[in-house]
């Protein structure tokens, strides 16, 4: 059988001119070798570009470099524009416009230093959230918010992994939780068991006790009737935590990065950290091992 990777490499190099439905065919092409998230990202760019061409009264047959440049120039966020440029180049190659694709510029952008929180900041934020639990009229909501932040940090979770959690995934008797990880090229789910501290187990148990039986299988629920918390809902919960510690610019992923860094500073070996974060390639773990300036200063000044 002709190896699929060789086939894909050949197709992208010579440029497949798609007939009928180039956008739909390109999606099928991507699904053979890309993760679901990458397919979603690339297809979003392609749809935007096709709408852009339609507004100009153009089609793929008469697209020019100027059209591509104007399309990318319309994005104020240079990093977002660069991501769209790579997706656009891949699409143009697929439909046979290899020469045009090679001319499409990739916008330059500056990246901010990826930030990590200190353990003191994490602890202070959780303590304040605990106080909110005691004062809140809606104890179940306050407990849910506390449980999400505490669990996400301790288990090093991505936001999508938090969303997918169900009640049955939490095993208090074993002090562990089953994480459903989907970040694989084929998109197949991979279960991964993570041990939990007594603190997180207690918070989760109290949240579920106060929440009671509501007919919703999701571990974290909101609304009436109760339904699974969305990514956007969890982002809003995290923003409250970020404001509490005075770090409004950070993202949910900062919890995961901070956890990896703290474990490294505690002396845990990279392989252990990689296993917790579920990195198939240990080299990926290096991205999360970022000492804070305070930690770096202490290490440099120590004898």
> Which option is the CATH number for 4-103: 1.10.10.10, 3.40.190.180, 1.10.150.130, 3.40.1410.10?
1.10.150.130
- Which helix H or strand E contains 24, and what residues bound it? helix 22-31
pLDDT at 297 (0 to 100):
62
What pLDDT band is residue 287 in, cutting at 50, 70 and 90? low
Instruction: Identify the residue whose tokens are 């974290």.
Output: 220
Per residue in 75-95, pLDDT (tens digit) is 878 888 999 999 999 999 999
The SS3 of residue 237 is: helix
- Calpha distance 208→220 (Å, rounded): 9
- Calpha distance 104→94 (Å, rounded): 14
**HSE-CB for 112 with a 13 A CA cutoff:** 7
Q: Cβ(292)–Cβ(113) under 8 Å?
A: no
* Better pLDDT: 160 or 205: 205
Domain spans of the chain, in order of start: 4-103, 119-301
Cβ neighbours of residue 33 closer than 8 Å, sequence gap 6 or more: 4, 5, 8, 185
Cβ neighbours of residue 254 closer than 8 Å, sequence gap 6 or more: 115, 116, 117, 247
- Mutual angle of helices 231-244 and 119-135, in 10-degree steps: 100
Per residue in 135-144, pLDDT (tens digit) is 989 999 999 9
Mean pLDDT value across the chain:
85
Per residue in 52-62, pLDDT (tens digit) is 999 999 999 99
Counting residues of the chain whose pLDDT is more than 90, the rounded percentage is: 63
The SS3 of residue 171 is: strand
What pLDDT band is residue 203 in, cutting at 50, 70 and 90? very high
Rg over alpha carbons for the chain, rounded to the nearest Å, is 23
* Better pLDDT: 238 or 288: 238
- Specify the pairing of strand 221-222 against strand 227-228: antiparallel
Per residue in 227-251, pLDDT (tens digit) is 999 999 999 999 999 999 999 889 9
pLDDT at 109 (0 to 100):
73
Per residue in 12-67, pLDDT (tens digit) is 443 444 446 899 999 999 999 888 888 999 999 999 999 999 999 999 999 999 99
pLDDT at 145 (0 to 100):
97
Stretch 158-162: mean pLDDT: 92
Fold of 119-301: hpI Integrase; Chain A (1.10.443)
Per residue in 257-285, pLDDT (tens digit) is 899 889 888 888 888 888 888 776 666 67
């Amino acid at each position: 059988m002709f190896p699929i990777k060789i086939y894909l490499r050949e197709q992208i190099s010579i440029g497949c001119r798609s007939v009928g439905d180039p956008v739909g065919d390109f999606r099928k092409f991507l699904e053979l070798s890309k993760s679901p998230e990458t397919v979603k990202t690339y297809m979003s760019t392609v749809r935007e570009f096709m709408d852009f061409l339609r507004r100009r009264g153009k089609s793929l047959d008469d697209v020019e470099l100027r059209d591509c440049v104007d399309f990318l120039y319309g994005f104020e966020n240079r990093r977002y524009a660069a991501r769209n440029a790579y997706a656009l180049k891949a699409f143009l190659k697929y439909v046979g416009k290899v020469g045009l694709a090679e001319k499409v510029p990739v916008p330059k952008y500056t990246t901010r230093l990826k930030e990590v929180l200190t353990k003191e900041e994490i602890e202070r934020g959780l303590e304040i959230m605990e106080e909110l639990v005691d004062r809140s009229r809606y104890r179940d909501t306050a407990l849910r918010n506390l449980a999400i932040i505490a669990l996400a940090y301790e288990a090093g979770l991505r936001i999508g992994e938090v969303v997918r959690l169900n009640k049955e995934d939490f095993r208090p008797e074993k002090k562990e939780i089953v994480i459903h990880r989907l970040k694989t090229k084929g998109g197949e789910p991979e279960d991964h068991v993570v041990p939990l501290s007594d603190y997180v187990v207690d918070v989760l148990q109290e949240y579920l006790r106060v929440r009671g039986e509501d007919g919703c299988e999701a571990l974290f629920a909101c609304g009436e009737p109760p339904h699974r918390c969305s990514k956007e809902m969890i982002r809003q919960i995290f923003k409250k935590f970020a404001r509490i510690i005075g770090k409004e610019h950070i993202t949910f992923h900062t919890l995961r990065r901070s956890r990896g860094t703290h474990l490294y500073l505690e002396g845990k070996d990279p392989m252990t950290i990689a296993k917790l974060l579920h990195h198939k390639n240990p080299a990926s773990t290096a991205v999360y091992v970022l000492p804070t300036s305070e930690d770096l200063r202490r290490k440099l000044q120590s004898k």
